[in-house]
Amino acid sequence: MTKPSSEHTLRLLFPQWQGGANNAPYILGARLLNWLAPQHEGPFEEVPVSLELDPTIQDGILARQTVLNQARAAQQIIRKHAPDRLVILGGDCSVDLAPFAYLNDKYDGDTVLLWVDSHPDVSIPEDFHNHHAQVLANLLGVGDPEFVAEVPRVFKPEQILFVGLNDMLDALQSKPIQSLPLDRLGPDEIQDSSNVLEWLHERKPSKVMIHFDLDVLDMTQFRSLLVAYYKTYDEYKDKFPRGVSMETIIQLLQDVAKQYDIVGLGITEHFPWDAYFLQNMLSRLPLLGDIDDNQRPTFVTI
């Protein structure tokens, strides 16, 4: 397909960090994604995100009200522009709640959502309190009622395909989720694009959305991931399931885009360890920052 006009494509910078265990590096990760991405000539907005730590757990969700408020702010921005397409640069995975809810409603449910992620993100608050692991459940109409209420047209299970899924599979067995027939392809099943294209051909959607969590990538090839913290790297690269190569994902998404109309692309969970540590160092050096500052960078590891 020809490249769509950028005039009706809203690029949304959404540096949310509270949904991912209050991990501040997601702020820098989102901003770096925006800086690295090709120049965009169409409309651009940044979703306002609180920089205040919110350690409260309400109704089983960490920083619940902060994340909910930010989802509503994103929704207001999107509806102001009423775009045909959305690119979302996050931030933790929960940034995709408002954009994908908007697109599924706009196109009357004649859509599919490729969830390109190592995790299913269908946890419920009773089992896991970080909202980035709950966002797809909300899009399916499951979970916290106020988050679900932000989805005017919930997705049907047959609209969802997990791509590269290989971790936290227990979440698929929770009572609200286990009855939903959600299709999935593991890393070994997407070494070429045929299985994904066959699934799409069976459904013949008018529009396709893509959630691309960078943690689907092989951590030995791409290390700007939460799991790739240098002190536990050697342990985790053998402990966690191996992800997918970057070139495999590129080829897959290119192949899909050549045959289907992509209306949404969310890129999330960029965790730039080296840049985050470097940022902290620069802020404490003479002529650049505060030489009396002894504060070390803070983060939450797995």
Residue 2 has pLDDT above 60, yes or no: no
Is cis: bond before 143, omega within 30 of 0?
no
Burial of 60 (C-beta count, 10 Å sphere; 0-12/13-18/19+): middle
Per residue in 180-221, pLDDT (tens digit) is 999 999 999 999 999 999 999 999 999 999 999 999 999 999
Q: What is the pLDDT of residues 217-239, one digit of tens each?
A: 999 999 999 999 999 999 999 99
Residue 101, SS3?
A: helix
Q: Where are the domains of the chain?
A: 6-282
Distance CA 216, CA 249 (A): 9
pLDDT band for 248, please (50, 70, 90 cuts): very high
Q: Dihedrals φ, ψ of 153, to 5°? A: -135, 100
The torsion defined by the Cα of 243, 61, 85 and 192, in degrees rounded to 10, comes to 20
Whole-number pLDDT of residue 1: 58
Query: How does residue 259 score in pLDDT terms, banded at 50, 70 and 90?
Result: very high
Residue recorded with tokens 């536990």: 232
pTM here is 0.96
Q: What is the residue-averaged pLDDT of the chain? A: 96
Strand, helix or coil for residue 62? strand
Q: Can you give the pLDDT at residue 4?
A: 63
Residues in contact with 143: Cβ distance below 8 Å, sequence separation at least 6, in sequence order:
124, 125, 134, 137, 176
- Find out whether 114 and 161 touch, Cβ atoms under 8 Å: yes
Query: According to DSSP H, which parts of the chain are helical?
Result: 25-36, 64-81, 97-106, 135-139, 145-148, 175-178, 194-203, 233-239, 246-259, 273-282
Residue recorded with tokens 């994340």: 67
153-165 pLDDT, tens digit each? 999 999 999 999 9
Q: Does domain 6-282 have CATH number 3.40.50.1970?
A: no
- Could you give the angle at the alpha carbon of 96 between the alpha carbons of 218 and 216, nearest 5°? 10
What's the pLDDT score for residue 302? 78
Classify residue 29 as exposed, middle or buried by CB count within 10 Å of its CB (0-12, 13-18, 19+): buried
Q: Residue 264 has what pLDDT?
A: 98
